[in-house]
A and B are shown apart, each in its own frame.
Chain A
Amino acid sequence: MSTFEFPPSIRSRPVYCVLQARPGKAHLMIADAEGAEALIDLALRAPELMAKAHVIYIPKATDFGAALKALNPAQYYEGPSYSAAVSRIKRVFLDASMGLQIYLSGTEGLMGQALSEAMQAGYDHTAIQTEHRGSLARRMQCVHCKGITEDVSNDPFQCSHCGLNLFVRDHYSRRLAAFQGVCIDAEEPGNVPPSKELYS
Chain B
Amino acid sequence: MTLQFNTETFRDDYSFHNSQRAIDRFPFPFHEDSYMYAVNMERHQGGPADSVYEKRFDVDEHYVAEMADRAKVLDDDPLRCQSLPHMTLAGWDLLELIMVSKSEEYPDFFELHREGREWYWINKPLGIEDHFTFMDDTTLPYGPMEYITRQTQGDFCVLDQREDNLWMDAGMVTTQADWSLDFDIGMNFFEWHAPVPLAHEKGIFKRALKFLLNIQQGAPARRLNWTMTVNPLLDTSPENYHKWGIQKTTLTSENIGAKQHLRVELQTFFRLPRSNALVFPIRCYLMSFQDIVSKPKWGRRLNRVVRDLPEELAAYKGFIANRPLMLDYLSQFDDGLPTSFGVWPDEHITPTLQR
Contacts and interface: CB of A to CB of B under 8 A. Distances in A.
Interface in B141-195: 180, 182-187, 190-195
A175 B238 contact: no
B248 interface: yes
A166 to B, nearest CB: 9
B186 A171 contact: no
B238 A182 contact: yes
A88 interface: no
A176 interface: yes
A187 interface: yes
A158 interface: no
Q: In this complex, which of A164, A170, A180 has the most chain B Cβ atoms within 10 angstroms of its Cβ?
A: A180
Contacts of A180: 180, 183, 238
Interface string B220-251: 00000000000000000011111111101100
Interface in A46-101: none
Nearest to B237: A143
A50 B321 CA distance: 58
Contacts of A146: 79, 182
B249 A141 contact: no
Task: Please classify the interface of chain B as helix (H, G, I), strand (E, B), loop, or mixed, using the class held by over half of its residues.
Answer: helix
B168 to A, nearest CB: 10
B180 A175 contact: no
B21 interface: no
Contact of A141 (B183, B186, B192, B245): B183
B124 interface: no
Contact of A10 (B180, B186, B195, B240): B195
Given A10-B194, A143-B180, A171-B194, A186 B241 contact: yes
Interface in A171-196: 171, 173-176, 180, 182-183, 186-189
Contacts of B185: 175
Contacts of A20: none
Contacts of B192: 12
A143 B194 contact: no
Contact of A171 (B79, B183, B190, B245): B183
Nearest to B318: A187
B194 A13 contact: yes
B200 interface: yes
Interface string B73-100: 0000001000000000000000000000
A76 B187 CA distance: 34
A164 B185 CA distance: 24
Contacts of B182: 146
A170 to B, nearest CB: 8
A22 interface: no
A183 to B, nearest CB: 4
B241 A173 contact: no
A143 B243 CA distance: 13
Interface string A128-159: 00000000000001011010000000000000
Give 10 closest A-B pairs by Cβ, nearest first: A186-B245, A12-B194, A10-B194, A183-B242, A175-B186, A11-B194, A12-B191, A11-B190, A143-B238, A187-B245
21 contacts: A12-B187, A12-B195, A141-B183, A143-B238, A144-B240, A146-B79, A171-B183, A171-B195, A173-B183, A175-B185, A175-B187, A180-B180, A180-B183, A182-B238, A183-B245, A186-B241, A186-B242, A186-B245, A186-B246, A187-B249, A187-B321
